[in-house]
Chains A and B, each alone.
Chain A
Amino acid sequence: MAGIRVSGVSKSYLLPDGSEREALGQVDLTIGDGEFVCLLGPSGCGKTTLLNILSGLDSDYRGTVRFTDVRSGTSGSQQSETDVGMGGAEPVFSYMFQESRLLPWLTVRENLRFVLDDEDRGVRGVARIDDWLGRVGLEGSGNYFPSQLSVGMQQRVALIRSLIIGPEILFMDEPLSSLDELTASRMRDELLNLWTEQVPTVVFVTHNPLEAVYLADRVLIMSPGPGRIIHELQVSEELPRPRSSEDTRLWELSRECVRILKGKARDPAGSVLDV
């Protein structure tokens, strides 16, 4: 299992006219092992940029990202730190995107096999795939192609693809935002159930405040221009798990998020927030 320690991370893009645009400015952040963290903010505030830096997809940034490896210490007190992209020492990552990003020419089963390492692909691998399909109600659809499934079912396959490798850190980039609310709320509960079995560290990006406070232990509110974390909201104390989506405290916390986001909207930067 692993936690994340981010210090002084910033990123800027070079614009065609030669000037630089700061996408991310000075992010400091510590995420504990097994913690469920939501990054909440309007579109274009650098949430996905930060996620791509943390997951190693983007290596062009300033600052440091370190992973605390709790497994290697016998008592749990010993902690070793590794840089992202260091190869063997890296924790097991997985990533769920807004679109399912399944390979259309592979069946559901082959898609799941694709992310398994060679030693996990034998008979045990097949049993594991079937087991995971069953857990999200997709038993019997292993031989279908993704195009034969509804968007919701495709996203369920993407969800178990992200969990089947036993990730230590799970990155999620608005994975439910392209679904209808009914399917999305059902999948939120499925995600929480599956998360409590493995308890990987989760970094979940969303622009939906209600979703953020329902899922997270801690909500980090981000603001654009350049993207930075402007507020931290500890949810786990106010809302112990399991939570109910009917809970009125959920709405209060969500409204608080919106207030903070809107407060920042009157910033001299003048950016309009779409929350």
Chain B
Amino acid sequence: MRQASQSKQRGVGRRWLNLESLSLDNWLYRPLSLLSILVVWIVFSRIMGAQVLPGPVSTMEFLWEQLERGALTRHLGITMYRVVVAFTVAMLLGVALGVLMGVSRVVDRLLEAWLIVGLTVPRIMLFVIAYLLIGLNDTSAIVALVITVVPTIIVQLREGARAVDGKLIEMAHAYRRSNVAIWRKVIFPQLLPYFIGTARGALSLAWKMVVLAELLGRTSGVGYQITFYFQMFNMRGILAYGVAMMLVLAVIDLTFVGLMQRYGFRWRRSGRYAA
């Protein structure tokens, strides 16, 4: 029943496109979209020549080679390690500061300037400065990554904390509920959608920025491999590692979308049953 009402809503929203008149089954659109990318890639590869722009098949061959040699897993692993550490630290820091800034006016005012600087500073500068101040090592890469990601986490969780419904907290106080119960049952469920949404954005941002960090000052990781093949004018290598990064990010992203649909909004989706 729920399925039916959803597809009905979807139909209303997209009527102007009149996609319903196409007799393709719903599940076919996504593979079709993916296929069109491959087709464009192949066409351009043919036009420009396989030496300049290798096609998907030749790129996948190269990727497979790298996998067999162990280079792919090693570099992907290192990159992933940097992202996971930076992401974890950034989330802990960003959630705490964001909620604090959302709840307390004083903290908000005190940290406002820092936040604005963090949001506006050119990302590439952060990495350069970190390498110069701390040295060419993993610590500076991770520190710069954390600083890159934290401001966006703060902004979203501050928004979430501000949107917490004070009337519901008042209700819980009127029924003399404990602070633990209020955090678990009243405040946390309101922050959860913000939390998952933020985590998704932060992880994909860290995943994109880590390549920059490695390109500028590391001798391992996917970013380094891309610079390496750039210096060799090896387009196959660049494309192969690019595709690998995209695939991993896509898997992460789809996992988050699944999480969001399962936990974040279950109670919002259910349709009405009585008037």
Contact = CB atoms under 8 A, between A and B. Distances in A.
Contacts of A148: 270-274
B270 A145 contact: yes
Contact of B175 (A106, A150, A165): A165
A55 B172 CA distance: 12
A103 to B, nearest CB: 6
A10 interface: no
B117 interface: no
B150 to A, nearest CB: 28
Given A144-B273, A145-B267, A147-B267, A93 B167 contact: no
Interface string A92-107: 0111010101011110
A103 B273 contact: no
- Contact size class for A? 20 to 34
A103 B268 contact: no
Contacts, number: 58
B267 A104 contact: yes
Nearest to A148: B273
Contacts of B172: 114
Given A57-B173, A148-B273, A103 B185 contact: yes
A114 B173 CA distance: 12
Q: Which secondary structure dominates where chain A touches chain B?
A: loop
B177 interface: yes
B39 interface: no
Contacts of B273: 144, 148-149
Given A105-B267, A148-B271, A95 B189 contact: no
B185 A114 contact: yes
Contact of B181 (A97, A101, A114): A114
Contacts of A97: 167, 171
A103 B168 contact: yes
A145 B265 CA distance: 12
Contacts of A115: 175, 177
A153 interface: yes
Contacts of B170: 57, 101
B173 A149 contact: no
A103 B189 contact: yes
B57 interface: no
A160 to B, nearest CB: 13
Interface in A78-121: 93-95, 97, 99, 101, 103-106, 114-115
A171 B171 CA distance: 12
Given A114-B177, A114-B181, A153-B274, A99 B167 contact: yes
A114 B177 CA distance: 8
Interface string A216-246: 0000000000000000000000000000000
Contacts of A165: 175
B109 interface: no
A103 B175 CA distance: 13
Interface string B25-61: 0000000000000000000000000000000000000
Most buried by A among B171, B186, B266: B171
B275 interface: yes
Contacts of B266: 105
Nearest to B171: A101
B174 A95 contact: yes
A163 to B, nearest CB: 12
Contacts of B186: 103
A106 B270 CA distance: 12
B265 to A, nearest CB: 9
Nearest to A114: B185
B167 A106 contact: no
B176 interface: yes
Interface in A114-158: 114-115, 141, 144-145, 147-150, 153
Contact of A95 (B171, B181, B185): B171
Nearest to B172: A114
Nearest to B174: A95
B133 to A, nearest CB: 45
A105 B192 CA distance: 11
Contact of B174 (A94, A105, A144): A94
A97 B168 CA distance: 10
The 3 closest A-B pairs by CB, nearest first: A95-B174, A101-B171, A105-B189
Interface of A: 55, 57, 93-95, 97, 99, 101, 103-106, 114-115, 141, 144-145, 147-150, 153, 165, 171
